[in-house]
Amino acid sequence: MTTGMPFSDLMGVEILERGKDRVRGRLVVREDLCTSGGILHGGAYMAFADALGATGAVMNLEPGARTTTLESKTNFLRGAPVGSAIEGEATPLHVGRRSSVWQTRITSADGKLMALVTQTQMTILP
């Protein structure tokens, strides 16, 4: 399932599950997403998590409302080598009328924690 966001789709982000309380996704680490050392670029980790958190935020919006990322913080814990796949699971820490806060755990195929991202999504009311 694609994200519906052109940049995320270009990266190859695949949505495995989406709902109001959980979004799961997968990304294959391609060479063009890596540093010169063949390790997934930090910005790619962040963009992957942003797509998952934004998808969750959209699932919780009122009709006609939109969302945008207001803040994002990432802890990088491990490198993902080219050719591997990572998975992400975004869950809400807070869903309110004006904003939502999402935490995304990015793991390797064998379940090792690769990165932890917390982002705030601002709600833009119609």
Domains of the chain, first to last: 6-124 (3.10.129.10)
Provide the residue-wise pLDDT of the chain in tens; the chain has 126 residues.
Answer: 889 999 999 999 999 999 999 999 999 999 999 999 999 999 999 999 999 999 999 999 999 999 999 999 999 999 999 999 999 999 999 999 999 999 999 999 999 999 999 999 999 999
Q: Rounded CA gap, 126 and 118, in Å?
A: 26
Overall pTM > 0.85:
yes
* Cβ(41)–Cβ(29) below 8 Å: no
Q: Which residue has the tokens 């390790």?
A: 39
What pLDDT sits at residue 19? Answer: 96
| Beta-carbon-side half-sphere exposure of residue 14 (alpha carbons within 13 Å) | 8
What pLDDT sits at residue 1? Answer: 85
